[in-house]
C-alpha cells in the first residue's frame, strides 16, 4: 500500500482535543474505507489539517477524504 498526504483548510480555532476526536472517528471507519488513517496534524493558526494515510490508491484515499472533511466540519462550529 502507498502513503498519501492530504491537506484540508478551514479549521481555524480547532483544538488538539477536537482533532484527536475527529481522528478517532476516522479510525472507527477505516476498515470499511479500505484506507488506514495513520496520523493527523493541526496548524490552528492557519486552519490547516495535514493527514497521512495508507491506501491501495490515490482514488481510495480521496474518496475517504471527502467523507472525513464533511465529518470534521462539525468540529469547527
What is the rounded distance in angstroms from the CA atom of residue 33 to the CA atom of residue 17? Answer: 24
Please check the confidence at residue 3 and state whether its pLDDT lies above 90.
Answer: yes
pTM above 0.85, yes or no: no
* The 48-55 sheet, strands edge to edge: 2-8, 48-55, 36-43
Is it true that domain 2-76 has CATH number 3.30.70.3090? yes
Give residue for cell 468540529. 75
Question: Which tens digits make up the pLDDT trace of 30-49?
Answer: 888 888 989 989 998 898 98
Q: Which residues of 2-33 are buried (b: 16+ CB within 10 A; e: fewer)?
A: eebebebeebeebeeebbeebbebbeeebeeb
Please report the pLDDT score of residue 68 as a whole number.
65
Please check the confidence at residue 70 and state whether its pLDDT lies above 80.
Answer: no
Please check the confidence at residue 27 and state whether its pLDDT lies above 70.
Answer: yes
Amino acid at each position: 500500500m502507498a502513503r498519501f498526504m492530504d491537506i484540508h483548510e478551514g479549521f481555524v480555532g480547532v483544538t488538539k482535543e477536537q482533532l484527536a476526536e475527529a481522528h478517532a472517528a476516522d479510525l472507527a471507519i477505516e476498515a470499511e474505507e479500505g484506507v488506514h488513517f495513520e496520523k493527523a496534524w493541526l496548524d490552528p493558526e492557519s486552519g490547516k489539517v495535514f493527514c497521512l494515510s495508507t491506501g491501495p490508491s490515490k482514488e481510495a484515499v480521496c474518496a475517504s477524504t471527502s467523507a472525513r472533511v464533511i465529518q470534521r466540519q462539525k468540529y469547527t462550529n
